[in-house]
Structure 1
Amino acid sequence: MDYDSALKSLLAWADRTETVRCVVLTGSAASATAHPLSDRDLEIHVRDIETLERDDSWWSRLGDVLAVERLENGDNQPTRLVYYVGGKLDFTLVDTRGERGVYDRPYEVLLDKDGDAADFRTDAPSHVPVDQDAFDECLNWGYASAFMIAKAIVRDEPWTVKVRDNDLKTELLRLIEWDHVARYGDKIDVRYLGTRMRGWMDIDVQERLDACWASFDLSDSREALLATLDLFRDVAVRTAAVAALKDFSHEAMQTEVRNILSMAANAEIRPPVS
């Protein structure tokens, strides 16, 4: 996809479309940190969201469409993630009647029919410090996932192992982010879904993550689970200490996981092979 050509076509359409009032480029392209595989993230500020939400023609004509994800965000900002041959454009429809124009990273105004962009501003990314309720939820969900992974390993259900492992890794990432913010403050920009982790995540944590993923092999999955739980425990302990939180009884949790895994020696608990 030729992004320059696609943006030129989009802006020409936006300029002649009455409901569209402003177009803003966000993400890595706006901050001059784009990678050859980076998307283009665009906000389309409109007076009538519903019309554009039902109309696919304005984005489908920009390139050869392969797939699209239609996200109905809870803040009334529907998003279309459009995958084209050779590229991807992410569109968010923003209602001009609502709150808008506050960004936590650099942005670039590509079109501004009403001069509203003069009031737009950039606020530094803010990371809400972890509190006890969120910390407790993370540890409960993480260990609950670990129990289910262990059971799936014993039952020889590798697909379930992978699904539950994603849940555990989600909670591990939450801990890693909290740990970094607690120790470094906002000087480190923790990104969504581990984005650009090589630039902000501690090297020792990165190195330990190598052992936390496995193949479909059950013995491999067992070792990856135990390595993940060791890292989960260590990051949780450090986060609790720095953030002055009450920690969990990690020893009891890990003992339960190991007790479940030890049942693998009993062949009777495995489902029959048809």
Structure 2
Amino acid sequence: MITEAGLAGWAAGRADIRLVLRTGSRARRDGTADAFSDHDIELFTTDPDAYADDADWPAELGPVLVSVGLDGPWDNPARLVLFTDGVKADFQVVPLALVEELAGELDDLHERGYEVLYDPDGLAARLPAPTGRPRPEPVTESDFRELCAEFWFEIAHLPRYLARGELWVVQSRDWTTKELLQTLVEWHAQAVRGADLDVWHGGTRMREWAAPGVWERLPETFGGFDAEGARRAAHATGVLFAELAREVAKIHDFPYDPAPETAILPQLTP
């Protein structure tokens, strides 16, 4: 089990680590953390490269079941670890210089909340206090146009793969359309409910923040591993995307080109 004292003690034994922060639901203490919540840990170090190819250091914190190395959001080494007791921890090993960047302005992740777990040099005193809310970027006409183009381009592939009986490819390409739909659901919610609405990430809490009536439409956008179900779900996905896109365009006074939906949706009609 990862504990604050255990992390602090481990960090104290490594001279390169000068600050440890925890982010995510366990740091926010807003009631959203539960027994399944990850530990999101940031290790601020003078030598991040030392952790890039080292897969063994997490074992110093406890017995490891699985450890996956990735590149983090700051082009930093990251390691996703599942310990044998079922605890999952996402470690970001970041350069100490990131403290200066965050001292100037917190990013959305830290704006939501962070906890100081180890700070022998008092570096965290330079960081602004989190407000608990991110600062959403406004949607631009260019963003909207590109999202719509990508969505219709992707969903246009589905009829041809359905005709070929390539159900695995259909499911793969269909998920790409769902990711694009998610972005539009976020923009639509902020357009309808206010630009500062917190839409979280990856669809988290969508039932709570989506505009009225949207969540109830989502079950029909998912089908089974069969041609009929996949076609029906793809058609529902396209219909919902088109409706939300038109509403977002109207609210923001963006132009919307109906030609792609007019050409593509009939090909997906069940």
Tell which deviates more after alignment, 218-227 or 65-74: 65-74
Q: Mind listing any 5+ residue stretches in structure 2 that lack a counterpart? A: none
Report the count of equivalent residues.
258
Give the C-alpha shift of residue 59 in structure 1.
1.1
- Does residue 254 (structure 1) correspond to residue 256 (structure 2)? The answer is no
Q: Which residue of 2 aligns with 1:90?
A: 90
The one-letter amino acid of 2:209's match is W
Q: Which residue of 2 aligns with 1:192?
A: 201
Give the C-alpha shift of residue 234 in structure 1.
0.7
- Aligned-residue RMSD, C-alpha: 1.9
The one-letter amino acid of 1:144's match is F
**Aligned-partner SS, 2:160:** helix
**Residues 126 and 186, structure 1, Cα contact 8 Å, conserved in 2:** no
Q: Which residue of 1 aligns with 2:182?
A: 173
Q: Give distance in 2, aligned partners of 1:211 and 1:229.
A: 11
**Aligned-partner SS, 2:224:** coil
Q: Mind listing any 5+ residue stretches in structure 1 that lack a counterpart? A: 265-274
The one-letter amino acid of 2:53's match is R
CA 1:181–1:13 in 2, change beyond 3 Å: closer, same or farther? same
**Residues 49 and 77, structure 2, Cα contact 8 Å, conserved in 1:** no
Give the C-alpha shift of residue 187 in structure 1.
4.4
Q: Which residue of 1 aligns with 2:65?
A: 66
**Aligned-partner SS, 1:42:** strand
Q: Give distance in 2, aligned partners of 1:13 and 1:186.
A: 42
TM-score between both structures, scaled by the size of structure 2: 0.89
CA 1:77–1:212 in 2, change beyond 3 Å: closer, same or farther? same
| Residue correspondence of structure 1 range 49-128 to structure 2 within 5 A | 49-73=48-72, 75-85=74-84, 86-98=86-98, 99-101=101-103, 102=106, 103-121=110-128, 122-123=130-131, 124-128=133-137
**Aligned-partner SS, 1:204:** coil
**Aligned-partner SS, 1:100:** helix
**Residues 30 and 108, structure 1, Cα contact 8 Å, conserved in 2:** yes
Q: Give distance in 2, aligned partners of 1:147 and 1:68.
A: 38
Give the C-alpha shift of residue 72 in structure 1.
1.4
Q: 1:111-166: CA deviations, max 9, x gaps?
A: 11111101112254011111111111111110111111121112111101111011
Give the C-alpha shift of residue 185 in structure 1.
2.8
| Residue correspondence of structure 1 range 1-274 to structure 2 within 5 A | 2-4=1-3, 7-32=4-29, 33-73=32-72, 75-85=74-84, 86-98=86-98, 99-101=101-103, 102=106, 103-121=110-128, 122-123=130-131, 124-249=133-258, 252-258=259-265, 260-261=267-268
